[in-house]
Structure 1
Amino acid sequence: MSEIKQEQPMEFDIDNLFEWTMKKNWKEVLNVCRNNPSACMAKLTKSEDTALHIAVSSFHADQIDANGQAKVVSDLVESLPPDQAVEILKVQNDKGDTPLHLAAALGSATICICIARKDHVLISERNLKGETPLFMAAHHGKMEAFLQLHKLYRKSAEEPDDRLYRRNDGDTILHSAISGEYFALAYQIISYNHKLVRSINQEGFSPLHILARKPNVFESSSNLRLFDRIIYRCVLVRELKKQKFKDSGINYPDNYQTCVKFIHLPWAAFRTITALGKDCGPRQEPGSKADAENPKNEEEEHQEKELKDEHPFPENYTTCIQLFKFAMNVVLVVLGIGIWKISKIREKKERHKWAVQVMDKLIEHEANYKYSHNGGRPVDNVEQMYPERIKPPSTPPPEHDTYSSSEDTGSKSKDKQEHEDGIKLDAQTKDVKETRIVAANMDIKETVKKILETFPAIIQDLDANAKNALLLTVNLAKMQDPTTKDVKKETPILLAAKMGVTEVVKKILETFPVAIQDLDANEKNALLLAVENRQNKVFDLLMMMKLPEFVLYQVDNEGNSALHLAAKFQEHQPWRIPGAALQMQWEIKWYKHVKHSMPPQCFIQYNKKGETAGKIFMKTHEKLVKDGSKWMIKTSESCSLVAALIATVAFATSSTIPGGPDQKSGHPVLEKQPAFNVFSVASLVALCFSVTALVFFLAILTSRCQKKDFKKSLPRKLLFGLTSLFTSISAVLVSFCAGHFFMLSDQIHSAALPLYAVACLPITFFAFAQLPLYFDLLWSIIRKVPVRSYKVYYH
């Protein structure tokens, strides 16, 4: 009966607690938790959230009462009994998240500190995906919460475990931060733990791989307009630097950020102007007495090197340039460009600049091109490659080493007996190890099962390639699976060349010139991948560099040279030009560009299938030629009909004399009027250009539309036809207005211009609707090298 009496109030409290949490009546929730701490462990929702989970989830940084909500959670945490606090805070929901996981994901540094200070072991708790609160903060880009948790963990742990930075799929916090494009956070992660640069996930990708797959975060992949480029060059963007740990400050909501930035604007201007006095003063040369008294660490030297690379001008010049950029920002705002426009471009420039800084850090600590087995024992290298593997007990040292000291004479017999027993055990298990490895390779299930039942610890043993029985079995299954192929992972430079990230390609080649030798599974190097994927900027960059000749002569596993790959067409249509006909024109230009950029002897005539580059081009572009011909004919038919109608009207107009001829002299009656001359010239121009347009369109209709015609002939005919058509349309409108001007009385002459403008609106809309096509034609003809569209990604 006593148990029943205790459970009934608990059930009632849970129901009320659920209602109070849904209504965010945190005062009542706090009273319940104080009086009955076990209520904090009760799972209230379908997702198994407790009251603490719900309270933390209610926090939003952009809310006005964000600080008040953080205080509610702090009061709930402080109300927990000390002996039960850790147990309550470890309660997980259906996703395995604790309240600290949710606080880290939402980015509340105050709540994170409040919970983590109860016991630092909470920072190492994992959810179902193997994510710790540290990982959650990095995954959602919450820098302040991450830095505070990282600070608490580093202080509490004697030997910090880097496994807290990794989840089940092998992704680290650096992988996740770069994937989410949180480059400011990624820079801090590298600054505090550069070992993560070399970490690899289950797919075999390093953080540099992830960055190389994001062309949209680099300036080379952005196609800004002229006016946007001017703003892009003028806006000021701060550089990333290693941040020191500090207590969480004031959190401003997002809707307050504009006011905060406006208040900080005068201070930024003051710092920029006052920097002139500092820069104009005498500067100390490196190696001076002051430098000797205040030595700089490696991080400061690296930051100075980055600043010198970023600003090639002297410091006083740089200050003047920054002052000029600041003045330009003020002018743009005054002219009404809008802070929102500048802020949008500034965010883009920040992303570009910070991505480059992260890239520099990643490549700086990259070690894939170093040979790491010089003079090392295989066992040592295995332990370095697999630091998380449980180390088996080592074999005791030889007898003459073990008993060389006189202090160990008392335990000589005991140690000797253990040594002999170890030798016997080693002799017994040596054959078992070899049998187990061979059995795993041969997929003998019964043998492996029997050995593991007899010697369970033997699962830790590795073969010569540092693989245990589990890895050997998985590899064997992959080889036996007909749908699985042994795919060679692409290196970062190959991935960057494929995606068109010129910054990554250039930096890697400057740091590791041997990277140009990298090949993918199809034996394609960076040059072949750039050609195949139409990455014109990467191709031009590589051709400007003095590459070894073997790079230019490289062929893939099918014997295709760079010209063969340039001839192949894929369905993704990478060029920034609409229409199949113009796509075909740029395909021809790309083929010619590759052919003329490389020495002729670099192109072999036939691949392994006996195909030439020209044959591949004709074969793969058949559908594009067909679609382009169809579009050309359809466009010409529509425009020729309009041109014929205008020619008919223009002929009738030009043969008509306004007011008629003079009966005596035969000259036009209105020939001395200015409008008469305008009418005569405009009608003649309309007739001539309409007939010219009709001729060009008819020439396209009667064309054979072969591959070579798309390079110059057909686009130029269409351009000239459209130019003539637009000119004839304008001339017809002018002649109509000039002829109608004679019919107006003197009283409404002043209203003639507005009336004619309204009358010409329909035909003007038609002309403007065709202008994009006209400009696309003009651009495609003028451009010698096609322009890549970065809306097409290869993931």
Structure 2
Amino acid sequence: MSEKEMEASNKEMITFSDEIVKAQKEAAAKEWECFVDIFRRNDRKEELLFEPLDLVKNTAIHVLARSGNKQCLKELLQMLPKTKQLEALRKPNYEENTPLHEAVLFHDDPKMVDLIMGFMPSQPDKDALLEMKNNQNETVAFRAARYGRLRVIKYLHGKLQPRGLQSSKHFQPNIYGGRERPILHTCVLNFSFGAAIWLLKNVDKSLAKEKFMVQKKEKENTKIVLQLTCLKLLAKMQLAFESTGTLEMGLTKRLLYELLPEDGYESELEDDAENNSVKIARDEESSQPNDGNKKTTKSKVGVFSRINYAFWKHAKDRFSFIGKIWDQKKRHKFAEQLVKLLLDIDEESWKQYPLVPFNEPIALSLEFPGNVTEKKEDMKLINRVEKEERVKKLLEDKKSKKKLYSDDKVGIMWKSTLFMAAASGIIEVVNLIVGKYPEAISYVNEDGLNILHVALKYRQLEIYEFIEKTSAFELLTQRISKDKRTILHQAGSMEYYREQGLAGVAYQLQCELEWYHRVREKIPKQYLMHADEDGLTAGDLLDIDHAEMHDEAKQWMKETAQSCSTVAVLIAGVVFAAAYAIPGGNEGGRPVLRTSSAFRIFTIMDVVALATSLGSVVMFLSILTSSFDLWEFHRALPRKLKWGFAMLFFSLITTMLAFAATILLTIHMEGNKSSTTLAYSLAFVIVSIFGLTQFPLYKMVEDQVKAMKKWCGPKSTKSRSNKS
């Protein structure tokens, strides 16, 4: 290392004195009284209070402000003369954060902010402190909003009278990665939806129209690739909404989530007496405050809802695990409310509808089925040179084609909001947009895709079912995209496929075939013969894209059937042998214990176990002898596998019960009812737990219930009508 490099590195080095090291130990142990005593007893306390206490150059004032201990911070500041108190509170750390910046980092405590502001000698000094910015261009109010410190924001808004917090002074965009990021985007990215709602209602509605410029640098030039409004950003945040943010919850958490109140969270956004907040209603175009005499409108919640809300609010303060789920549900409700507010504010933009372009004509495939094999080889890149040339030609053709309409701001907004929400599966955003602007569902982007194409591409079932219930569904099914693909092509393609949480590849393939089958029943029949720009019908695309999954499903199905049939044969052999070695033996060709109820249970369970185990063997053998055609994985093979599993489980259960009955007969426990009940319960519970955890029996039951509803529903309706 050169001398210049050594000098540069030495400038960045920090040397801590012995007193500071002692203070660091007390701070690490959170012994704040001892922390203050170190400075109180030291003759150099005024000097020590300005020395850095950590590697970020935080002073003792910074550390105590961040800790939330108001009394110790007050004592520490009182050790300094009044002339140096202002200097200590304005001193920045390495990130240029003042103690007030640090105070709002972990705590939403207006009293801590009030304590620090109380050491400011005059109102101009207070204003200057609140306008100080760190190296990310964040004021104290910006930082408080970023981390969702809503009580602090309302307190500051009430202190800065008569105008309150102003977007031009306190909420200028911060600097993130060399780019400016608006306050609303920052709040949303930090899941501080409550703060975002409060800012829009009380500070400046025009914040909703600010955009976050996402840039991509290419050599010396900087190219803007995307402009994100806050609404577009929300349309991509799956964790912010209930429909997509609760998918990974377990049964207990999900049950607790459902029990938590649906209403009442908006009361946290209202002004309270403690903060003495004053609402400043602002016009959308002007920053001038309107009549400030508007009363805060309390949410109209019923008495029972208020009691329920109060109960769970008390419970979440007592139990941390309830508090975490409470915070999650509150974020989901605030995110939905924020979407509504953003749609209302930007109402004029949403009223501008781009015209739907002309639909692509139907191109019937006249090729023979044998040509599909050649296309499969082409798709597998066997002839790589021809494949690359074909792709290049397709790209050149696309560039030469004219756009349907100009890619203006309205088109970008529609595409990036409605389509992004549909692709992400956020039904709340889609529902709110279509509910407020019904014609939004008919939008077609420059690639000729509508919302139905997007939902099928990304396999978003809830979005698809929502669209299916609308009056525009039949019209949407007829749209053909610019690459000549129908919605059935999208259902058959695996371009954006994501693995489902299903037990086995065969069930994943069944789910894909169910998607295709469901869409095929809805589209016009002539679309079944339509070929895309590659000359592939939807059926061809289904075969090609799912060829690898089909092979894996074959292998998985064979291995599963072989393993289960081996177990079933073993069970059949055991119960068959048990029938000839009955407990108690024979006397004159008749069982000795034939009058016992336990013996009758043994006989019944043994016969049932033999019948079900042999039945499962038949099912698994029928699977092994099948042709494993692609569409057999839609219904036939999964149904056989489910029934084979069901009979195998039932044979395991009855075998265990037969064994329990044999034990009871052997040790003569007929008179002890409690022991008998315990033995049967253990035998049943152990096998049931094994079956439920290892095999997807629940799926078979679910499918059977749905089938019963499907078939019984219309019949029951008809019978009622006939009776009437």
Report if TM-score (shorter chain) is over 0.5: yes
Cα distance per residue 1:292-324 (max 9 Å; x no partner): xxxx999769x68x85xxx8xxxxxx44x5389
Cα distance per residue 1:622-674 (max 9 Å; x no partner): 222222222222222221111111111222233456555554xx554544443
Matched residues in 2 for 1:297 and 1:158: separation?
14
1:357 equivalent to 2:359? Answer no
2:65 alignment partner, one of 49, 56, 77: 56
Matched residues in 1 for 2:166 and 2:259: separation?
46
Q: Which residue of 2 aligns with 1:478?
A: none
Q: Quote the offset at 1:765 in angstroms.
A: 7.2
1:129 equivalent to 2:139? Answer no
Q: Quote the offset at 1:708 in angstroms.
A: 0.9
**What is the letter of the counterpart of residue 178 of structure 1?**
V
Matched residues in 2 for 1:582 and 1:552: separation?
27
1:244 equivalent to 2:245? Answer no
Q: Which residue of 2 aligns with 1:8?
A: none
1:322 alignment partner, one of 302, 305, 324: 305
SS of 2:212 mapped into structure 1: coil
C-alpha change, 1:31 and 1:354, in structure 2 (3 Å) is same
Given that 2:423 and 2:458 are in contact with CA atoms closer than 8 Å, whether structure 1 keeps it comes out as: yes
2:191 alignment partner, one of 169, 181, 187: 181
**What is the letter of the counterpart of residue 174 of structure 1?**
L
Q: Which residue of 2 aligns with 1:398?
A: none
Matched residues in 2 for 1:598 and 1:515: separation?
21
Q: Which residue of 1 aligns with 2:72?
A: 69
Cα distance per residue 1:659-706 (max 9 Å; x no partner): 55554xx55454444344333333222221111111111122222322
**What is the letter of the counterpart of residue 424 of structure 2?**
M
**What is the letter of the counterpart of residue 591 of structure 1?**
Y
Q: Which residue of 1 aligns with 2:544?
A: 619
Given that 2:146 and 2:186 are in contact with CA atoms closer than 8 Å, whether structure 1 keeps it comes out as: yes
Q: Which residue of 2 aligns with 1:698?
A: 621
TM-score (norm 1): 0.64
1:80 alignment partner, one of 62, 78, 83: 83
Instruction: Using the aligned pairs only, state the percent identity.
Output: 22
Q: Which residue of 1 aligns with 2:213?
A: 202
Given that 1:123 and 1:133 are in contact with CA atoms closer than 8 Å, whether structure 2 keeps it comes out as: yes
**What is the letter of the counterpart of residue 67 of structure 1?**
K
**What is the letter of the counterpart of residue 258 of structure 2?**
Y
Structure possessing the higher relative contact order (Cα contacts under 8 Å, 6 or more residues apart): 1
Matched residues in 2 for 1:640 and 1:756: separation?
28
Matched residues in 1 for 2:191 and 2:544: separation?
41
1:171 equivalent to 2:181? Answer yes
The count of aligned residue pairs is 584
1:109 equivalent to 2:142? Answer no
Cα distance per residue 1:437-485 (max 9 Å; x no partner): xxxxxxxxxxxxxxxxxxxxxxxxxxxxxxxxxxxxxxxxxxxxxxxxx
Q: Which residue of 2 aligns with 1:453?
A: none
1:213 equivalent to 2:236? Answer yes
**What is the letter of the counterpart of residue 305 of structure 2?**
Q
Q: Which residue of 2 aligns with 1:18?
A: 20
Q: Which residue of 2 aligns with 1:368?
A: 349
Given that 1:134 and 1:165 are in contact with CA atoms closer than 8 Å, whether structure 2 keeps it comes out as: no
**Gap regions ≥5 residues in structure 2:** 1-14, 28-34, 215-226, 277-290, 354-408, 708-724
Q: Which residue of 2 aligns with 1:776?
A: 699
Q: Quote the offset at 1:731 in angstroms.
A: 2.7
Matched residues in 2 for 1:752 and 1:149: separation?
70
Matched residues in 2 for 1:586 and 1:548: separation?
22
**What is the letter of the counterpart of residue 150 of structure 2?**
M
C-alpha change, 1:686 and 1:703, in structure 2 (3 Å) is same
After superposition, residues 233-272 of structure 1 pair within 5 angstroms as 235=261, 237-240=263-266, 243-244=270-271, 247-248=274-275
Q: Which residue of 1 aligns with 2:717?
A: none
Matched residues in 1 for 2:668 and 2:45: separation?
96
Matched residues in 1 for 2:476 and 2:80: separation?
63
Cα distance per residue 1:181-240 (max 9 Å; x no partner): 222222211111211111111121122122222233333334686995597357364142
2:632 alignment partner, one of 693, 696, 709: 709
After superposition, residues 492-531 of structure 1 pair within 5 angstroms as 492-519=417-444, 522-531=447-456
Q: Which residue of 2 aligns with 1:564?
A: 489
**What is the letter of the counterpart of residue 147 of structure 2?**
H
Given that 1:70 and 1:111 are in contact with CA atoms closer than 8 Å, whether structure 2 keeps it comes out as: no
SS of 1:201 mapped into structure 2: strand
Q: Which residue of 2 aligns with 1:430?
A: none
Matched residues in 2 for 1:89 and 1:327: separation?
39
1:689 equivalent to 2:599? Answer no
Q: Quote the offset at 1:707 in angstroms.
A: 1.8
Given that 1:569 and 1:620 are in contact with CA atoms closer than 8 Å, whether structure 2 keeps it comes out as: yes
Cα distance per residue 1:141-172 (max 9 Å; x no partner): 11122233344456588986167331123322
C-alpha change, 1:201 and 1:686, in structure 2 (3 Å) is same
Matched residues in 1 for 2:55 and 2:534: separation?
62
Given that 2:452 and 2:464 are in contact with CA atoms closer than 8 Å, whether structure 1 keeps it comes out as: yes
Q: Which residue of 2 aligns with 1:95?
A: 95
SS of 2:228 mapped into structure 1: coil
Matched residues in 1 for 2:474 and 2:691: separation?
51
TM-score (norm 2): 0.69
Matched residues in 2 for 1:555 and 1:68: separation?
69
**What is the letter of the counterpart of residue 46 of structure 1?**
L
**What is the letter of the counterpart of residue 640 of structure 2?**
K
Q: Which residue of 1 aligns with 2:562?
A: 637
Q: Which residue of 1 aligns with 2:603?
A: 680
Given that 2:480 and 2:486 are in contact with CA atoms closer than 8 Å, whether structure 1 keeps it comes out as: yes
Matched residues in 2 for 1:671 and 1:348: separation?
62
Given that 1:21 and 1:55 are in contact with CA atoms closer than 8 Å, whether structure 2 keeps it comes out as: no
C-alpha change, 1:153 and 1:623, in structure 2 (3 Å) is farther
Matched residues in 2 for 1:724 and 1:548: separation?
42
Matched residues in 2 for 1:599 and 1:99: separation?
67
TM-align CA RMSD = 4.3
Matched residues in 2 for 1:299 and 1:757: separation?
70
**Gap regions ≥5 residues in structure 1:** 1-12, 61-65, 250-295, 312-317, 373-485, 785-795
Cα distance per residue 1:502-526 (max 9 Å; x no partner): 2211211232334335455644332
